Chains A and B, each alone.
Chain A
């Protein structure tokens, strides 16, 4: 085990005029390169805990160790410049251009102008925004999702080792949020930052976290473990209740489509011969066959009725397979896809769109049953 990058030792925070501490003798270690998610019901002190790390809130007692150095005393501003900070409301400076916003910390660190500008462009690229289009715009011209991308880019401004994120995707619509989460995970795959991430959403915690700390009142750690172990083996009733009834179902977010064995379906390739196709369905006993195009890309599902009423050229049909997933997608994505169509399965393709197999609802069900049994066995 490597030395933790951030360590909170016996940290307590009592707000003036309050009897109960908001955070009570908390010990927490954040390993380098991990995403540690703090999750818990509102008012449990998870945000306070995060803000204690960069001393936006000063601890009443205890020590904060960062990179092996006691940072409980000393200049909090210098400490903060060494840590990225992302908040739910983003808080972009409305009177500064996107590039100026991103270069906030470099500027505070007195980097030369040229280097600041180059860094802003680099970071815009990193969060998939075209520098030429966006660098001179002002924050009010951005959508919520774009603003939070810039927020993340700004936090990465001076390439800090640590990112502190306080419900960063909390105020964003579900579809955009999902995309931002995926993008962020991809980004983290490259950057390998150490991230402390606060959320109240269990699904987000499971999706984002390498480890999850479930907090209850006064920031007491109810359980700290990998998402898999927490979901299959909650430490107590509080954790169990907090995870909710679908805990096992949530394990689907943790597995990738590529991790499970794919099933196969009857395949048709152009040119399609009607008699042959009907015979194929007959032989395999399947209701549907999948038509691929010449590049092995799924085109559409074909059933008996489609074949019977078929005139003209099936090959020319527009692609109408609505649910396509890729091996990197989670099983949860595959499941929601399946529920959207009536096929009970999702077609898996590689990045280039080439057919790999199908993922069926039966295989997911079996997987969940197995996971449940394992969990029960380990509890017994």
Chain B
């Protein structure tokens, strides 16, 4: 899991230096991940050309079916991440308001426990209560991925320079104006880092959705395992990885372009 980005305010010179470093690491993000994705694509192409495709493998890897599974995978990932954001960001905002420090520690601890349970276990637990289907997976994954977003929302809001908030309040910003115009915009980079982490977790973990009838690319891997078709397992696994990497790149781009100017 990525630690929350630190964004301390620094004097101008150090700030410039930091931004140069940040843009370098930002670029690294946008270079390394695509390279890995490219290598995987090449491997996939190699397998496609040279591997032995018997009828069973071909049936497992039916393109239409793969597309459906991809759709299911994205469906689960998208809605679980959406759920995470809708729940964790407001809670993060709420507990960082004045007079709620106890609640904050309590929540972070509890949700930390949520993450200590393997995603596999969580899916089974939610299956017991909610039955089969993609919705159960969405809820289970949302629970699993809540912590990074909540924690980054809290850290992101808390690292905003107190002097900036004080100056804003001193000029007559209401608490809501301070939150919307100062604190949230300045916390965006850190919150986005959390959402990116959650997205990648969810996209990858959505491969487990097949366990309780939620579909997804896990079906292909599972079928390959059951029918002892290594080619199918490989193709399924690489596809899952590619989808996760794609979202990581999208996340990196979002962090880069949604970062408030001047920060």
Contacts and interface: CB of A to CB of B under 8 A. Distances in A.
Interface stretch (A73-81, A116-124, A295-303, A332-340): A73-81
Given A89-B163, A104-B168, A144-B11, A94 B174 contact: no
Contacts of A142: 12
Report the interface size class on chain B.
Answer: 20 to 34
A317 B163 CA distance: 52
B182 interface: yes
A97 B169 CA distance: 18
B79 to A, nearest CB: 31
Interface in B173-220: 173-174, 177, 181-182, 185-186
Nearest to A104: B171
Q: Which DSSP category, helix, strand, loop or mixed, fits chain B's interface?
A: helix
A77 B172 contact: yes
A140 B16 contact: yes
B167 interface: yes
B24 to A, nearest CB: 17
Given A94-B263, A95-B263, A87 B170 contact: yes
B173 A77 contact: yes
Contacts of B164: 91-94
A105 B171 contact: yes
Contacts of A365: none
A140 B161 contact: no
Given A140-B12, A142-B12, A144-B11, A95 B173 contact: no
Contacts of A104: 168, 171, 173
Nearest to A141: B12
B62 interface: no
B260 A95 contact: yes
B168 A95 contact: no
B172 A92 contact: no
A87 B167 contact: yes
B171 A97 contact: no
Contacts of A81: 171-172
Interface of A: 54, 56, 77-81, 85, 87, 89-97, 104-105, 108, 138-144, 147, 151, 154-155, 157, 164
By Cβ-Cβ distance, the 6 closest A-B pairs, closest first, are A91-B167, A138-B262, A89-B163, A81-B172, A85-B170, A95-B260
21 contacts: A54-B170, A78-B172, A79-B172, A80-B170, A81-B172, A87-B166, A87-B170, A91-B166, A93-B181, A94-B161, A94-B260, A95-B261, A104-B168, A108-B171, A140-B10, A140-B12, A140-B263, A144-B11, A144-B12, A147-B12, A164-B170
